[in-house]
Structure 1
Amino acid sequence: MLSYLRAGRPVPESELEPGPGLPLRGRLIALHGVTDSAASPCGIAEHFGDQWDVLLVDHLGHGLSPRLSPAQLEDPIQAMVEAVEQLLEALNLPAAPTLLWGHSMGGAVAAHLAVRHPEWFTALVLEDPALLTDSQYQQYRQAGTRELTEFQRADLPAAISRLTSAYPHWSSAEVAGWAQGKAQVDLEFLATGIVGELDPSLRLLDQLQVPTLLLTGDAPDVLIGPNRLADAPAHVQTVLIPQASHTVRRDQPGAVYAAVEAFIPSWTNLLPSPLASGSSEAELRR
């Protein structure tokens, strides 16, 4: 089973009551990008943990989760989708309004999960998801072996120094999560170069049935960016975060959290009072 971190305020097992302090709003599940880990989206837990039950998941081949088998390496994205699916089924979490958040590769996995199980999730946040154009997909595939060699030779302290120089706004906790992920990633997976879904026209988003927010930046390394936002279907809300790279939230956390907080009422207003006592499992999505 996948490894994960639990933060915030757990949803009670029975009699879903707000309890002391701020009202409990629901559950937030965060899926990280390639070479990251469950520690990488620590800022999400810090920001939302006072009102949310936060679950941070290690993908297959990342963090402390199992490595990918040879068969899984043939289609690692679908293997990751199935692994998260199996984790959530095994945890059998108490019913609650659930926000699924995926960055990059995790965004592709999250989109597939939301399409396969719309009854599990109340809403979806896709942070520059790895729904790739033909050129992006081929670029990553061709870079796989080279990146494997670079990782094997990497000087992690030097890499951290370069990172903090290039991204001075990242918090120390985000830097630590980034470094932890790099030290733990499955190099056989990295060598495949399969880090996302080939989806030039964002057709996967057409299949979504849950309220969805698509976030991207305007730096040269973004996967969606301003040029591809027009391909998003009308039912998907889109927000362009200025001066943000592919790591949108890490670069501009204030703007990203503000966009997500503004998005949340668009679907919470359609629900019964979050975690209201007496609501049945059928009334509250997983």
Structure 2
Amino acid sequence: MKRVAVIYGGWSSERPVSLSSGRQMAEAARQAGYDVVEIDATRDLARQLAEAKPDAVLNGLHGPWGEDGSVQGLLEIMGLPYSHSGVLASALAMDKLKSKAVYRSVGLDVAEDRRVTRAEAAAAHALKPPYVIKPVNEGSSFGVLIVREGTNSPPQELTGDGWRYGDYLMAEEYIPGRELTVAVLGDRALAVTEITTLRDYYDFDAKYAAGGSQHVIPADLPARVTQAAMDASLKAHQALGCRGATRSDFRYDEQKDRLVILETNTQPGMTPTSLVPEQAAYRGMSFVELVAWMIEDASCQR
């Protein structure tokens, strides 16, 4: 019986999401017939893995260290096959500015952006409002600030000691329109989901709180837009060098008929409200089958 270490938790701001994702993946892996060892990752993860002696690692970590190439590098050094993307693809996708450079290189439409320090963004408008401030290396919408049209001053949330998301940020053109997302498994885009929420934007609570958002699958879009989103998600996955499961997020501005890619998630969530399991189910793949697919995909990486 194949022994699988499911690593989750960790110490990033996305720890609560990772705990939920990892525990559910561990249970699904058991149902699929694997010998599962659950590991709440610490900074002594190498020892934890050495003691577990797994045949493969199912990575349920989210955020810095878990999905930015750091843990992936450790697993490479230890010679352990692991799920999801490798070192370089993980690092590229986690860095919003670098991933957008890759998107541009393959002809994908991206929002205008500018790299700024926290001090610069707090002192003066980084772009003409409306625009968005995003940490360069965070997920789950942590630290995202929307500066509305007509706002006189830059976001004051960036001042003081309460800011926890680093000193280097991206100011990005605000793209109005519909929130879309597309999952990729291996070499196949699954579907297009539209996400709606009553909140100001698709923030952490909209993503993970019960009732925080509604997912419409398949999204009610013209066929050509659906195909364009699926093609773009696969192109982004391949251009970044990703493997396994990813999920790319888009905004579609109907008035301008403009489809803009925002980012690619190399460690998409696996919680009750997560989008990748929904799209897999829409394609006839149960959650247990999805987890087993990720484990076997990891095992092929030796």
> Which TM-score bucket, shorter chain as reference?
0.3 to 0.5
TM-score, normalising length: structure 1: 0.40
Higher-helix-fraction structure: 1
Higher-strand-fraction structure: 2
TM-score, normalising length: structure 2: 0.38
